Amino acid sequence: MRNLILAAVIMASLSACSTMTPARYSPSADNQVALRSISDGAAHVVQIVSSADYSASCRMAGPIQASDGMTIPQFVQKAINDELKMAGIYSEQRNPLSGEITKIAFSSTAGLTNGWWNIALTLKGSSGQSVSAEVTYNFKSGFDAMTACNQTAQALGPAVQDLIKQLVSDPRFTDLIRSN
């Protein structure tokens, strides 16, 4: 009987875990305006790595992972390349960029029903130039774990949009994709 109860508790615990994933990244109108204002520039992001510790666990409800089986760095890399493609300034022949996520964290319990993502990224060109940005994106999460963690996962896309907006609005980004 004791083993049966233990097995039931283990099964209930395992069935409660769920992986939360955001929707696929969608380019931002603000980012498109900023990128389309860059004349004679083109680039592509070859790779983004992360030197930051990332804890994907959300309220014991399960992990938060990027969509389509990607890692968070791959999600950010694809997002930047998608923005460049939509703006017509993506080129695999010019200006290969690499990036490093130096900070990534989230909370689904700020003020009990709010949350935030904090992401910092540095992009570097082959010439040694770089541009960095950091964003804290705040959102409503929810009270119960499943709602809050799903809201946290869905907030990753807008957080990355804001991060990219900071990057592409920096004059150093324009120099980066024109000079490599």
| Domains of the chain listed by start with CATH number | 18-179 (3.40.50)
Tokens of 52: 């930051």
pTM, full prediction: 0.87
Q: In the chain, which stretches have pLDDT less than 70? A: 1-17, 179-180
Distances in whole angstroms, Cα of residue 109 to Cα of each of 25, 112, 130, 161: 24, 5, 34, 22
What are the helix and strand counts (H, E) for the chain? 6, 6
- Four-residue CA torsion sign, 67, 116, 104, 58: negative
Tokens of 165: 């907006």
C-alpha closest to that of 82 among 136, 170, 161: 161
How many degrees, rounded to 5, is the angle at CA 171 between CA 167 and CA 177?
Answer: 75
Q: For the segment 24-66, what is each residue's pLDDT rounded down to a tens digit?
A: 999 999 999 999 999 888 999 999 999 999 999 998 888 999 9
